[in-house]
Every structure is written in C-alpha cells, then in structure tokens.
Structure 1
C-alpha cells in the first residue's frame, strides 16, 4: 500500500434535481491518514462521498485523484485505487457471505481470468479481520444488522484499495462492535498506509479516531484540521445548533464534547 495518493474536491457543487446540497466546496484529504466528516443531517456528507467515488457527477467543480478527474477515469481503474462502502448497501438475494466478500475482488479480475490464490487470501484475511469467518457459508439475508454491516466492511477490505471511503461504517453496531470496527480501520491505516475517509455521526468517536476532522454546515466547509482545532463549542453550536462543553478526553487526550440539555443544567 502507498500513502502518496492525493484526493481533493475543487470548487465542488453537488445536488439532486432542483436542490443544491453541496456548494463551492474545496477540501483536500491528507494521504495516509484517517479523515472523518461530521455534520448535521442533510448537510451533504453522504453526497460528498458519492461524488468522491464517482457515483454522483458534480454540477460544477471537480473531484481529483492524483491530478485526474475521477469522473473521467474508467470505473474499474478507479476501483483498484479507491473503494466505497455506502450507507445502505443492498446485497443480491440469496448470496452467501463468502460470495459477497469475494465481489470485492472484482476490480482485480480481468476478462476471462481465473480466480487466484491471492483472491482467496484477500477474502480470508477480510473475513478474519471483521470476525465473520464463521459466517462465510451463511446467506447474507439471514444475518442481523450488525453482522451484515461487518460483512460489507469485509467486502471493502477484500478490495484492497489504497483509499477507502466509508459512509457510517458503525451503523447497526452496538458500542463494543463500533470500537472494534474503528480499531480495525485504524490498524488498516497504520499497517498498510491506507487512506481512510469516513462519515460518523458520533462526534466523540470522530474526534477520538480522526487525524483530520472536517465539519460541514449546510453544504459548505465550516472547519477542517486536527480534532483539537475543529471540535470546539463554537463549531458544535454552528454545525449542530447545540450548546456544549468541550473537555479533554481522559482516555485519548482528544477533545470530548459534553452536550448541555435544558434538563441537565444545575441551578
């Protein structure tokens, strides 16, 4: 794996129909690091990931990977470098876990080429990393929401891309499995140099795991940088409309946001 790939949005405007979701956005993803995107619902987080992965064409501006516009790259060529786990992926009916994870190897297959040992190894490693090896022969339809989410992450890992985009990878997971998945992605970043970009709703998990934090507000970039610089009372108030205190997390040393609700303020 390499940490030299560059991914950036330049004057990017995105939308659906008559609705503009992201407007005039400029940002750069630090290579070889973990970037987390946060923001209120409908602020453009998922839309941004869709455009970065070539699934949504921009209305204006461009997404650039290593100096080339991603929307001009052949899909399979892009998929060998950049992988996406969307927010609500849909599996073919009746497909087994092993077969679904194996689909992550598709970008590495040429026409009429045979399945290779390297493909078997990649699938086995992805299943083991996500603790889904025991589920390999089961139908995806039979799995719980949390199990299914881990299988989708395994498919993304089997793709073995240098950049990995994940939209809410902790969806459907309980607290222990959320930490397990985020630790797994951190290990992937540290051992392979994989650039990780993910959307998280939990601000405190975002601050704990991000090297680089991006806060969106109404489709525009509000702040970006180290979590200690981005996760502030002002950012929480502007981006989420929430009063809070931000203290140092006693475990990680990162910023920790404590929301202030009307019924939790001492007189």
Structure 2
C-alpha cells in the first residue's frame, strides 16, 4: 500500500448527452488523506466521482491517475489502484454475501491464476472490518438496506486499492452505523494509507472526518481545503442557499453547522466561525 498515488481532475467538462453538469473543473485529491465532497443535490458531485473512477469520459479535460490519463490506462490496472462504491449499487439476483465480497478480488486475478489463500484472507478481513462475517452465507437480497450497504463496502475493501472512492457510503444507515462506517474508513486511511474520497450529505460528519473538504455548487468547486477554512456561513449560504450559524464542534473543535429557519433562531452571543 502506498500513499503516493495521485489523482487529479484537470479542466474537466462532464455531462450526459447535450446536458453539461460540470464545466472546466480542476481538483487535486491529496494523497494519503480523507477527502469529502459536499454540495446540494444535482451539483455534480456524483458525476465528478464517476469521471474520477473512469466510468464517465470527460467532454473536455482529463482525469490523471499518477500523472497519466486514466481513460487511456488498462481497465485492470486501474482497478488494482482505484476502487469505487457507487450510489445504490445492484447485486445479481440470488448472490451470497461471500460471493459478492469475493468479486472485489477480480482485479487481482490473472487469466490463468487461481484463487489463493491471500484472496481468502482479504475477503475475511473485509467481512470482519464491516461486521458482516455472520452474514457471509446469506443472500444479499435478503438483507436490510443498512446490511447491504456494509456488504458493498466490504467488497470495496476486499479490492485492497490505494485509492477508494465512495458515493454517499452512509446511505440507508442509522446514525450508529454511519459513525461505524466513517470510523472504518478513517482506520483504513490511517493504518493502510488508503486515499479516501467520499461524497457525504451530512455537513457535520463531513467536517468531522475530512482532512480535506471540497464544497461544490452548480458544477464548480466553490472552496477546497481544511474544513475549518471551507465550512463557513458564507460558503453554506452560497452552496446550499441556507442561512446558518457555524460554531466549533464541542468534541473536535471542527466547524459544526446549525441551520436556521423561520421557526429557529440563534442568540447573537453564539460563537461564530467565519
């Protein structure tokens, strides 16, 4: 595992058919760090992640993996370096959890290579890390939404890539399991040096877990950097059209967003992060 892998979107314009979603966007992913991307619905977060995972070709610009255009690299080579957990993935009908997680090992299999003990151990580690070992023999379509999400994350972990992209990995999870998943990804980053890039909707969890925070609006990067510099009242207003108070998280000191509304206000004495 290396923390030196680089991933960069350079002047990319992305869309579907005649509809442009992201235009002339440049973004560097800090290697060996946890990056979270936030923004309103339909701002281009998932579209950008698809391009960075080689699932969507830019109309203009390039995505560079280790300085090379990712769309020109062999598929299996990319899959050994970079993994993706998409939003709402679909499993084949009737597949068992252990079989689905084992598919994460496919990039490591050659045309004539056999399944090895190392593959077994990688799958076992992924199941254990996501607390899904007891589900190994169950069919995926029998599981709850939260259980399925953890199984998909296990498959991504079994791939053992240097870079892991996740589109809303806490979807369908209650708050306890959201924290479990984010702690798991933090452990993966700290212990193995995996570069993690994830799209999150919860601003406070994004700020708490990110080393590097990216705020997007209308297909553009509005701000990127340390969460304390990015997550301000002005940024929240520009990105979400929402008035808020941003105060220090009492546990971490990171910025914490308190949304305002017609029925809730904050005292003028409340400390503010600007």
**Shift of residue 260 of structure 1?**
0.5
Gaps of 5+ in 1: none
- Map 1:1-267 to 2 at 5 A: 1-265=1-265
Partners of 1:76 and 1:137 lie apart in 2 by 28
**Shift of residue 88 of structure 1?**
1.1
TM-score, normalised by the number of residues in structure 2: 0.96
Partners of 1:84 and 1:19 lie apart in 2 by 24
Partners of 2:252 and 2:177 lie apart in 1 by 18
**Shift of residue 266 of structure 1?**
6.8
SS in 1 for 2:36: strand
Which residue number in structure 1 is paired with residue 272 of structure 2?
Answer: none
Could you tell me whether the CA contact under 8 Å between 2:245 and 2:266 is conserved in 1? no
Partners of 1:84 and 1:27 lie apart in 2 by 18
Partners of 1:93 and 1:63 lie apart in 2 by 34
Q: Deviations over 1:226-262 (max 9, x none)?
A: 0000000000000000000000000111000000011
TM-score, normalised by the number of residues in structure 1: 0.99
**Shift of residue 265 of structure 1?**
2.5
Gaps of 5+ in 2: 268-274
Question: What is the root-mean-square deviation of aligned Cα atoms in Å?
Answer: 0.8
Partners of 1:189 and 1:2 lie apart in 2 by 11
What is the count of residue pairs matched by the alignment?
267
Partners of 2:265 and 2:251 lie apart in 1 by 25
